[in-house]
Amino acid sequence: MLEFWLNEYTFVTFDGRVLEIFEVSGPSVKGKRAHVATLGAVTLETDRAGRVSLGVKSIKGMAVHASFVDEQQVRWAQQLVAAITAARGG
């Protein structure tokens, strides 16, 4: 089970089957859940400024989530991408 903060506003969990993303916005928390079978591309990309972002798309190519990853959390995000890829049989 992976559980960590991507950044100060986004908490992620992955139990090997379901990816959950919780975003804190003011006093509210919004959650998204996606079963690994419904996920398409899950990527880490680095922009010109060196900031890393996590992108999650559905199997239909629609964006499920995108957010920057704090520098100290990049290794956790790498583990997340690897775990989702492995769970999808890749």
Ordered domains of the chain (ranges, CATH):
2-87 (2.30.29)
Q: What is the pLDDT of residues 31-73, one digit of tens each?
A: 999 999 999 999 999 999 999 999 999 999 889 999 999 999 9
Q: Give the global pTM.
A: 0.92
Q: How far is CA 66 from CA 6, 15, 40, 86, 89, in A?
A: 11, 20, 13, 20, 23
Q: What pLDDT band is residue 90 in, cutting at 50, 70 and 90?
A: confident
Residue with tokens 């920057």: 68
* Whole-number Å distance between alpha carbons of 85 and 73: 19
pLDDT at 84 over 80: yes
Res 47: pLDDT = 96
